[in-house]
Chain A
Amino acid sequence: MSKSKVSSSIVGGSLLSALTSGGEQYFRGYFGRLNYKFMDRYMIGASYHYDGSSIFTEDFRWGNFLALSAGWVVSDEPFLVNNEVINFLKFRGSFGQTGNSAISQQATATTYAQWGRYGDTGAGDLLSSIANTAVTWETTDAYDVGADFELFEGRVSGTVSYYVQDVRDMLFQVPIPQSSGIFNSNPTIWDNIGDMQNRGWEIELNTVNIDRGDFQWKMGINFATNENQVTRLSGEEAEIYNVNSNALVTREGDQVGFFRLARYAGIHPEGGYELIEEMDLEQFEATGERVPTGNLIPATRSNLQTHLFDNTDKGSLPTFFGGFNNSFTYKNFSLSALISFSGGNYIYDVARENSVYVNGAKPYREEIVGNYWQNPGDDAEFPALNWNQRYDVINEDGTIDENVRFDPRRAGQAHDKFLQKGDFIRVRALSFFYNLPRGVAESLRMQNIRLGFTGNNLFTITGYEGYGPEVVNLGEAADRNLGQVWAGVQLPQLKSYNFSLNVTF
């Protein structure tokens, strides 16, 4: 029998974790693993987790998580051993389940805050969460097939793989109506809301382009795609859509967080107010479909509430991203540059929307100067500067409705003038180092002296006109996940220049 190796382990573990909230949480896990390697080139493995958490109630406490993997090092087969081109080649495939129980400890309990003071008394109770005792583990089934390779004596190496992630019973803080009574302007309850799938390619390639004498040039490229679809959402015609916060909609069959917006159609040349495309409200009432009639209507507050179209192809998550890294060394000099890119997503520039309509004492964009409607017939970029966005609307029959409100009722009731692609390519880091000749260092009684320059985020190419295409939205976790492309005023990625002097004694 040829050589083979079996390894196995069983682990039972318990974990008591104290959370910063002062609560307590108990976690017990059992873990078994079996790896089998045959002739050093065929590998299979299996593992099994059985995990319980005190965060869930008794009937929903335990989760089973299985993982299987297989690999074949083809380059160790007799027909490829000593192949001059292929130094290493491995095909691999895996299936792995992981569980997520990272939810608030209040998820399964109705709780009260105690700071509601009334009169000169001690604190009163305030309802802060409603229990959902039926929440359980979120499980991700991850499938991955791919190959790792190394060619031409290590000059070229990389991996190619395709992944599918099925997230089942997603844990989510579902917005619930204000009438639920929770003392919060955006009350939520935890629930396993549905299933979602992510899938895509991951490719990584590293090359040594030149390695000759004192000069070396290395290159690395990575590229990944992601396609996302919500495959199930519990509840009939269920949607996650909180118009108070933003225009993002999540529903079954579409990608997570697409934009529901009115369609901007320019400025009325005679009235100086904004226009949007009309939606066929009768058809919507009858079928739920949102289709345009072909007419243009004023973008009044009431029209912005109803004439909203689903942009299911415009979502909040990037569909591709990656990086491109080059490094050069020549004698004592080294230079490296990291370029990263991302795209396929859309960003709504709330900061710009908030600073081009005249409705308060606040900073306005310079771009409106000279570009707003002033006289009948103007073909303007921005509407007339009417305080509080009130306009006299010219009806089709020539009559006029005076003083109509155009300020949107809710944050999420907006038109798409400020929706833009989030694609960008950016010089993430550029660094240059020079080691002084050893003789110079030694003459100063030092081992080494290195001069350096590093620049971060030096240069970005993007069509996005907001503060920066890499948006960071602080606040509630759920808003960060889905709402970070609803971009208000925020700190963009900082540009930085660092000069360094390293001395080693």
Chain B
Amino acid sequence: MKSFKIKNWFIALLVLGLVSCDNEDFFELTNPPEAPWQSLEELEKAPIGAYYTLSGNGGFRVIFSAERIAGEAYADGINLANTEFGFPVDVDTEDMYNRAIEGTSIGLFDNAVFRNCYFAIGHANGALDFIAANDGVPFPEEGPDATHRIEGELRFVRALAYFYLARIYCPAYPDDTPRLPFRTNQATNFDEAKSSAIASANDIYDFVVADLIEAKRLLPERYDASIHPEAYADGRANKFAAAALLAKVYFQMGLYDEALAEANFVIEENGGDYDLSEEPIEAFNKTGPVRGKEVIWYYALWAGDGLGGSSNWKHPRRFAWYNASRERAGGLEDNGSRFMVCSDAFLEAAGWQNPDGTESADAANDLRYQQLFIRVPADEDPRFEPTRDYVWNDKYYRAGDRLTNLPILRLADIVLLRAFLRADAGDNAGARADLNMVRNRAGLGDYDGSDADLINAIHNERFKEMAFEGDRFWYLQGARVDIPAGDRDGGAIPWDSPLYSEIPDFEVELNDGF
């Protein structure tokens, strides 16, 4: 009996061994995980996701509203409203305004710029790897260039993300200190996921330029309903967006000739798509798949379950710190969060305020001041109790409650950039023409100053035109002009002062590349 059972046991074991050799079929899944892009239609979801990641995962984390705080707070165009009047203050912004951030990491950007830019980069890398793995033609049946636009958009978003990261987290260009995690491909295993290479500002800028050159080559000039999906008409990058961003990147790098060429391309070859024929407000008050005539690229915020619509909690909310209204567009009375106000230095430079603090007579002539700023006399603030006048920016949320598209690249920016580049290259007539184009659009007459003052006049015009769009600090860096004190005590600081955030420790701790 016993020996019989043991024999059985061993036979069974033998059978087991034999059966187990041929097991793999059993584990085949009916619905195995597959690459998410099985068709061109599915690949269209890749750029949509890439754009989405820039707004991140919450209303306080949209990169555009956070990054602009740096562009203003380090520079001279803003002041912090006095807390003794009841205004709030953000401690990170206060540190930035005090220019006391050396060696610290600014939490304000960790959740917004750092996270979201890497979301965008990681996502774009995956889709670009997929296209590259198929030699650029993942769907041959659709034609050899069917994915060009998609690839161009992915490169555009990746370049934008790296550009924002480099500005916030790296010393001014040029700098060859390795600092930023640098991923050009998606991780494919544990070790790659755990470790990102570390790159310098120089490396990052070179990569951004390469991406944008390629994006410019691949992207179409404009939406064409006969060949593009309808979604491409709304807030998506085209050839001119890539060129405009490339012009700004070159400018930031001090490569003025290259920047000038891109600016020329945008201004002169856009086929009439973009001009300054509309009043300044028209860039800022659009909702739906609609843009102001000068807007080269806007970030769509008007629709979708993550963006836009009355239930939309992800609409960018950080603008409320430096705007008259908060996201519900309810005006001064509704916004208890505001505290970044026009500096007196800015208002006086703009000619909108007299040295005694009163409104100047010229202010009434400037459409920008009339349409995009609000002056609140002392003791008349509906919410706080200031004993002095304050002038608040009013560029955001201008199309209503949580549905205003955000212009990121607009023609006035590129025209004024070209004005500087032309003047710097000695083309004063060209520079004057560009400067006047922007002045005339704002209701002002031509510049009548001397050539010697021309560059300063261009700087000043840009100060007014781009105020509260987070431009000032980066512009002065790009122009290699020292950063004035604004309303602070003391003098100007060098343009390449160490005003950048440390890399978040949560990244340093976990990234084996460090």
Q: From residue 96 to 119 of chain B, which have CB atoms closer than 8 A to chain A?
A: 103-105, 107, 111, 114-115, 118-119
Does A41 make an interface contact (CB < 8 A)? Answer: no
Q: Are A28 and B26 in contact (CB under 8 A)?
A: yes
In the assembled complex, the CB of B440 is this many whole angstroms from the nearest CB of chain A, namely: 33
Tell me which residues across on chain A come within 8 A of B16, comparing CB atoms: 10, 12, 30, 32, 50
CB < 8 Å: which of B8, B91, B118 contacts A179?
A: B118
- Which of A106, A183, A244 is B123 in contact with, Cβ under 8 Å? A183
The answer to whether A305 touches B303 (Cβ under 8 A) is no
Interfacial chain A residues near B183, Cβ < 8 Å: 179-181
Asked if B45 and A185 sit within 8 Å, CB to CB, the answer is: no
Residue from the set B23, B506, B511 with the largest chain A CB neighbour count within 10 Å: B506
Tell me whether A10 and B125 are in contact (CB under 8 A): no
Among candidates B12, B127, B193, B513, residue contacting A189 with C-beta atoms closer than 8 Å:
B193
- Is A490 interfacial (CB-CB < 8 Å)? no
A180 near B187 with CB under 8 A, answer yes
Contact A118 B235 (CB under 8 A): yes
Report the Cα distance A404→B116, complex, angstroms. Answer: 29
Select one of A24, A185, A405, A409 contacting B30, CB under 8 A. Answer: A24
- A244→B512 CA distance, assembly (Å): 17
The residue in chain B whose Cβ has the minimal distance to the Cβ of A302 is B104
Known: A124-B45, A127-B186. A179 touches B304 (CB 8 A): no
Flag whether B48 is at the interface (Cβ < 8 A): yes
What 1/0 mask marks residues of chain B from 186 to 217 whose CB sits below 8 Å from any chain A CB? 11111001111000000000000000000000
Judge whether A50 and B115 touch: CB under 8 Å: no
Given known contacts A117-B48, A118-B52, A131-B189, is B12 in contact with A6 (CB within 8 Å)?
no
A123 at the interface (CB under 8 A from B): yes
* Min CB–CB distance A409 → chain B (angstroms): 7
State whether A175 touches B103 (Cβ < 8 A): no
B505 interface neighbour in A10, A122, A410, Cβ under 8 Å: A410
**Min distance, Cβ B179 to any Cβ of chain A, angstroms:** 12
Q: Which residues of B contact A123 (CB under 8 A)?
A: 45, 48
Q: How far is the CA of A177 from the CA of B514 in the complex (A)?
A: 11
Interface size of B as a range: 35 or more
**In A31-69, which residues have CB < 8 Å from any B CB?**
32, 34, 50, 52-54, 58, 61-62
Q: Which partner residue on chain A sits nearest B299 by CB separation?
A: A118
Given known contacts A119-B300, A125-B45, A241-B509, A409 and B53 CB-to-CB distance under 8 angstroms: no
Contacts A8-B9, A119-B231, A121-B231; is A181 near B186 (CB within 8 Å)? yes
CA distance A8 to B104 in the complex (A): 68
CB neighbors of A among B1-32 (8 A): 2, 5-6, 8-9, 12-13, 16, 19-20, 23-24, 26-27, 29-31
B377 within 8 A of A: no
Cα A54 to Cα B300 in complex, Å, equals 42
- Asked if A388 is an interface residue, CB under 8 A from chain B, the answer is yes
**Beta-carbon contact of A242 and B510 below 8 Å:** yes
Q: Within the complex, what minimum Cβ distance (angstroms) separates B231 from chain A? A: 4
Closest to B9 in A: A8
Given contacts A112-B36, A112-B49, A174-B194, whether A52 and B187 have CB atoms under 8 Å apart is no
Q: Does B428 contact A (CB under 8 A)?
A: no
B5 with A6: CB separation less than 8 A: yes
Q: How far is the CB of B263 from chain A (nearest CB, A)?
A: 28
Contacts of B47 in A (CB 8 A): 124
Q: List residues 351-390 of chain A with CB under 8 A from any CB of chain B.
A: 388, 390
User: How close is B125's CB to chain A, nearest CB, in angstroms?
Assistant: 6
Interface size on A, residues (CB 8 A): 72
Which of B125, B194, B504 touches A178 (beta carbons < 8 Å)? Answer: B504
Residues in B with CB closer than 8 Å to A14 are: 26
List the A side residues contacting B332 at CB < 8 Å.
Answer: none
Given contacts A174-B194, A302-B103, contact A126 B511 (CB under 8 A): no
Contact A181 B123 (CB under 8 A): yes
Contact assessment for B115 and A125 in the assembled complex, using a CB-CB cutoff below 8 Å: no
Q: Which of B29, B302, B513 has the most CB of A within 10 A?
A: B29
Is B62 an interface residue when CB atoms closer than 8 A count as contact? no
Cα–Cα, bound, A14→B52 (Å): 43
Tell me if A132 and B193 are in contact (CB < 8 A).
yes
Given contacts A117-B48, A121-B304, A388-B91, contact A24 B29 (CB under 8 A): yes
Once the chains are docked, how many angstroms separate the CA of A125 from the CA of B57?
14
Contact yes or no, A122 B45, CB < 8 A:
yes
- Contacting pair A183 B57 (CB below 8 A): yes
A132→B51 contact, CB < 8 A: no
Q: Does A76 count as interface, using CB distance less than 8 angstroms?
A: no
Chain B 304-327 interface mask (CB, 8 Å, partner A; 1/0): 111100000000000000000000
**A416 in the interface, Cβ–Cβ < 8 Å?**
no
A305 vs B506: C-alpha distance in the bound complex, in angstroms?
A: 11
Asked whether any CB of chain B lies closer than 8 Å to the CB of A397, the reply is no
* B9 adjacent to A32 (CB under 8 Å): yes
Pick from B31, B51, B126, B506: contact of A244, CB under 8 Å = B506
Interface residues of B in 34-90 (CB under 8 A from A): 36, 45-53, 55, 57
Is B470 located at the chain interface by the 8 A CB criterion? no
Interchain CB contact under 8 A, A124 and B48: yes
Q: Which residues of B contact A119 (CB under 8 A)?
A: 48, 51, 231, 234-236, 289, 300, 302-304, 307
Q: Which chain B residue shows the least CB distance to A48? A: B13
Residues of A within 8 A of B305 (CB): 115, 117
Verify A117–B307 contact, CB threshold 8 A. Answer: yes
Answer whether residue B121 sits at the interface, using C-beta atoms and an 8 A cutoff.
yes
Nearest opposing residue in chain B for A56, CB measure: B27
Decide: A4 near B2, CB < 8 A? Known: A110-B186, A242-B509: yes
* Residues A130 and B186 in contact in the complex (CB < 8 Å), given A119-B234, A125-B46: yes
Which residues of chain A come closer than 8 Å to B449, judged between CB atoms? none
CB contacts (< 8 Å) of A61 on chain B: these are 27
Q: Which residue of A lies closest to B194 (CB)?
A: A176
Q: Which chain B residue shows the least CB distance to A105?
A: B33
CA distance A181 to B56 in the complex (A): 12
- Could you tell me if A134 and B190 are in contact, using CB atoms closer than 8 angstroms? yes
Q: Please report the C-alpha to C-alpha distance between residue A62 and residue B111 in the assembled complex, in whole angstroms.
A: 41
Bound-complex Cα distance A124 to B48 (A): 5
Asked if A235 CB lies within 8 Å of chain B CBs, one says yes
Contact of B126 among A114, A124, A181, A388 (CB under 8 A): A181
Q: Are A243 and B506 in contact (CB under 8 A)?
A: yes
Check B20–A30 contact: CB distance below 8 A.
yes
Alpha-carbon distance A112/B49, docked complex (angstroms): 10
**CB neighbours of B8 from chain A (8 A):** 8
Would A58 and B24 count as touching, CB distance under 8 A? yes
CB contact under 8 A between A6 and B6, given known A116-B306, A121-B231: yes
Q: How far is the CA of A405 from the CA of B90 in the complex (A)?
A: 12
A120 at the interface (CB under 8 A from B): yes
B13 surroundings in chain A (CB, below 8 A): 10, 32
Residue of A nearest to B29 (CB): A24
Residues of A137-180 whose CB lies within 8 A of B = 174-180
A499 within 8 A of partner (CB): no
Docked Cα-Cα span, A379 to B118, in Å, equals: 48
Complex alpha-carbon distance, A388 and B46, angstroms: 42
28 A–B contact pairs at CB < 8 A? Answer: A6-B5, A8-B6, A23-B31, A24-B31, A26-B27, A28-B27, A30-B20, A53-B27, A58-B27, A110-B126, A111-B36, A114-B36, A119-B234, A121-B304, A124-B46, A124-B48, A126-B53, A174-B190, A176-B193, A180-B118, A180-B122, A181-B121, A181-B126, A181-B187, A185-B115, A189-B194, A243-B505, A405-B91
Residues of A near any B CB (own CB < 8 A): 4, 6-8, 10, 12, 14, 23-24, 26, 28, 30, 32, 34, 50, 52-54, 58, 61-62, 106, 109-112, 114-127, 130-134, 174-183, 185, 189, 191, 235, 241-244, 301-302, 305, 388, 390, 405, 407, 409-410
Query: Footprint of A on B, CB under 8 Å?
Result: 2, 5-6, 8-9, 12-13, 16, 19-20, 23-24, 26-27, 29-31, 33, 36, 45-53, 55, 57, 91, 95, 103-105, 107, 111, 114-115, 118-119, 121-123, 125-127, 181, 183, 186-190, 193-196, 230-231, 234-236, 289, 300, 302-307, 504-507, 509-513
Give the 5 A-B CB pairs with smallest separation, nearest first.
Answer: A181-B122, A124-B48, A124-B49, A179-B181, A116-B52
